[in-house]
Amino acid sequence: MSPEDPIAKHFRLAHAQAAALRKLGLATIRELLYHFPARYEAQGSESSTRELVAGTKVTLYGTLSKLKAKKLWKSRRAITEGWFEDATGRVKCMWFNQPYIASYVSDGSFVRLAGTVGGSEKSPYIANPEFEVVPPGSGPAGGGGTCRRPAGLFEKIPTHGSGLRQNVGAKNSVIPVYPESRGITSLWFYHAIRRVCGSGAHKNIEDPIPENIRKKYHLPDLATALLYIHTPEKKGHAEAARKRFAFEEIFIMQTVRAQERALNDSQTPFRISDGGAHAEKFLESISFPPTRAQSRAIADILKDFSGAHPMARLLEGDVGSGKTLVAAAVSYAVISNRRTFPRESATVPHSSASLQVAYMAPTEILATQHFQSFIEYFRHLPINIALITGSGCWKFPSKVARGKPTAISRTQLLKWVENGEIAMVVGTHALIQKSVKFQNLALAIVDEQHRFGVNQRKALIRRTDAVVPHFLSMTATPIPRTLALTLYGDLDISVLDELPPGRAKVTTKIIKKEQRSEAYESVRRELAVGRQAFVVCPRIEEPDPEKMNALQARSAKAEAKHLQKDVFPEFKVGLLHGTMAQKEKDNCMQDFVSGKIQILVATSVVEVGINVPNATVMMVEGAERFGLAQLHQLRGRIMRSSHPPHCFLLPETFGQVSSKRLKALEKNDDGFKLAEADLETRGAGDLLGRRQWGISDIGMEALKNPRLIQAAREEAFALVREDPALEKHQELAARAAMVSRALHSE
Ligand code: ADP
Ligand code: MG
């Protein structure tokens, strides 16, 4: 068996199994080996139906029959009931909200069933047990009695090679359980992987982690780790293996970042001279002084401008921390320069145009707002600014309307950008179309960068020109340091950890069901004195038939209707959601900005930087469905003025965990601290709602371990410095290339 063989070459797969493997993205033996258990079960917990004690966990072997799906009369909840039977008796089993369970097994199948006993001694039952079909006769002999593993489970496993032998057999006290997947059982993986290891295939994969690094951090080598993770003899094995694979994953990711960084650092930047003096001049021209954090970030960027390679920097700053001012100051420094050519070159174009800046925002609303901000910031300076979006192009200043932007044709805009007459171009994705050509693009800024794919970000700086623009990425998404290093490890980071003075502090309150009308009255009071309100509803990603009853999330549409008709008939309620046409969205936003609408009901589209200073109230429905960081961002929408803002969180359920999480928001207004708390309680996968970043569960766990991240990072950067092409590390090179490809196809 070779690691590169297709699984199907060695295993006869039923149709459903083949489909399940495909869905899991597992095609080769190597991929099968990298499919890790989700958890482990201690062996020895097998018992029989004779000795069921309520509240204890049991693993039983026997038959499952008479499975029937029905609806509970009162709640209309789907329930499947059936009977489990072994040699000593039988017990009722039930599954909630899993109407399809009955179709999983044929009547009378022999199963291994695990769950927690409920009910009483006289009439016990097991609710929502997990089970899988196993060969008849598996389990403690006769379905009751001793706790020995049946020989049948291990008998036929070939035991070539050292390591495996000791890991196979009755000594095995920890049983791996693989991630659930329809069509294929955990047990199939269990046996398949044992056969693979038995053939020695696991030893034919080269270890991507160099030996010296493994030694330094006491990590098992790949072959050992594969055995440890799939067939641990004790808990310690699994733990050592998981630590190794966590390190491996982060190490490979950091290798990719190190390579990206090395590529960046090999390029020639635009020269920006006298940046400090220009930025100073700009800052003197505005009506307020920059915060210390803003000054620091501006200084970081100006320093990069005079470096030997193009800037690659991330500016992280909580909502309202004033990132736009930083962007404006450094843009001004860039625009105040003309292009200079370091060496004599025959191809030097004759041009006196200034250097240019491109500023990309994820939505039309945001691009337009930024266009307006830059007009404000640059009003008194001789700078041409343009806006390009899917629905139109604008330019400032205008020859026809003094002090206002005018609509221009796209052709006209493209011409002026190409001949350098327009120095600052703000836009949406429209900016990265091929037709947009710059004369001297020296600085590319991406706002809310997580909204863009890697390719879109790169498209902004990837020019045919030999000189590469400086790159500034901006985000209001507070992310813990470990995650920032993993995702953006190729960028330097500046943080705005301070808000401009004079902002009123936000009051955040969790509203219980019976307090709802009270909350509405508070909102009414604010509206009555001229303020405006957001009502945010959880976006429903897919119809969720299992939750069609009481738990159905409030949808923005229904809520808007209800609020207008039953709660706030005296005010105007508007609706904004992601699937509306752009034009409708813009009109709606415009009406909210101008105050025609007092209450804006929206899905989380409002999350990203919309600026309506008069909106000081927010209600978040289904608040527990959002990540803390996301809620904090939403709350940022109402922190734009000096009026005291109020944020009401209205969860649908009041579980312990979600209450604790939401309480953190009541207490805390530092986005970064909240992000760390989120990482602790929910794991990184949930930080920003449902987003993943191509990091596995094991990698996500690793994010809670700053020392591991730091070590993997240092080793990867050192290795790439020493061996940039990874010539001495072929396997690592191949794995890094794979990660890089995946990133670029996102
Ligand atoms: P964000 O970081 O969320 O993009 P903005 O750049 O939109 O923040 O700034 C938020 C608000 O704060 C704007 O109205 C801006 O004019 C104001 N602002 C920015 N910097 C300062 C400052 N140093 N002092 C006072 N107000 C500021
Ligand atoms: Mg912003």
pLDDT along the chain (746 residues), means of 10: 94 92 94 91 65 81 86 81 83 85 78 86 86 71 34 28 35 71 84 93 96 96 96 88 95 95 91 91 93 97 94 90 95 88 49 84 87 92 92 87 86 93 93 88 88 73 76 86 87 91 86 93 95 84 42 73 94 89 83 93 70 90 84 83 88 78 85 78 52 72 88 96 94 93 74
- The answer to whether the CB of 319 is under 6 A from ligand 1 is yes
Q: Is 720 exposed, middle or buried (0-12, 13-18, 19+ CB in 10 A)?
A: buried
Q: Which ligand is nearest to the CA of 612?
A: 1
From the CA of 261, how far away is ligand 1's center (Å)?
31
What is the rounded distance in angstroms from the CA atom of residue 248 to the CA atom of residue 220? 11
* Report field, pTM of the whole predicted structure over 0.75: no
From the CA of 447, how far away is ligand 2's center (Å)?
7
* pLDDT score recorded for residue 164: 35
What is the rounded distance in angstroms from the CA atom of residue 728 to the CA atom of residue 35? 27
- The answer to whether the CB of 317 is under 6 A from ligand 1 is yes
Atom of ligand 1 nearest to the CA of 609: 3
Sign of the CA dihedral with 197 first, then 202, 203, and 207 last: negative
* pLDDT score recorded for residue 42: 65
What is the rounded distance in angstroms from the CA atom of residue 83 to the CA atom of residue 427? 63
Amino acid, single-letter form, for residue 644: P
Q: Is 422 exposed, middle or buried (0-12, 13-18, 19+ CB in 10 A)?
A: buried
From the CA of 476, how far away is ligand 1's center (Å)?
12
Q: Which residue's CA is minimally distant from atom 17 of ligand 1? A: 322
* pLDDT score recorded for residue 543: 43
Helix axes 235-265, 730-744, angle to 10 degrees: 70
- The answer to whether the CB of 324 is under 6 A from ligand 1 is yes
From the CA of 480, how far away is ligand 2's center (Å)?
20
From the CA of 212, how far away is ligand 1's center (Å)?
49
Q: Structure tokens of 593?
A: 């900005």
Distances (CA, A) of 681 to 307, 628, 659: 41, 10, 12
What is the rounded distance in angstroms from the CA atom of residue 304 to the CA atom of residue 320? 24
- The answer to whether the CB of 100 is under 6 A from ligand 1 is no
SS3 305: helix
* pLDDT score recorded for residue 394: 94
293 and 496 Cβ atoms separated by less than 8 Å: yes
Give the CA dihedral 696, 699, 704, 708, nearest 10 degrees: 180
From the CA of 319, how far away is ligand 2's center (Å)?
7
* pLDDT score recorded for residue 346: 47
- The answer to whether the CB of 290 is under 6 A from ligand 1 is yes
Query: Of 282, 315, 325, which is best to mutate to test ligand 1, by the most ligand atoms within 8 angstroms of its C-beta?
Result: 325
* pLDDT score recorded for residue 281: 93
- The answer to whether the CB of 500 is under 6 A from ligand 1 is yes
Q: Structure tokens of 230?
A: 């799939």
**Helix or strand run (H / E) with residue 532:** strand 532-536
Task: For ligand 2, an ion, list residues with CB under 5 A.
Answer: 609
* pLDDT score recorded for residue 46: 62
Q: Which residue's CA is minimally distant from atom 5 of ligand 1? A: 322
Q: What is the DSSP letter of 221?
A: P
From the CA of 356, how far away is ligand 2's center (Å)?
20
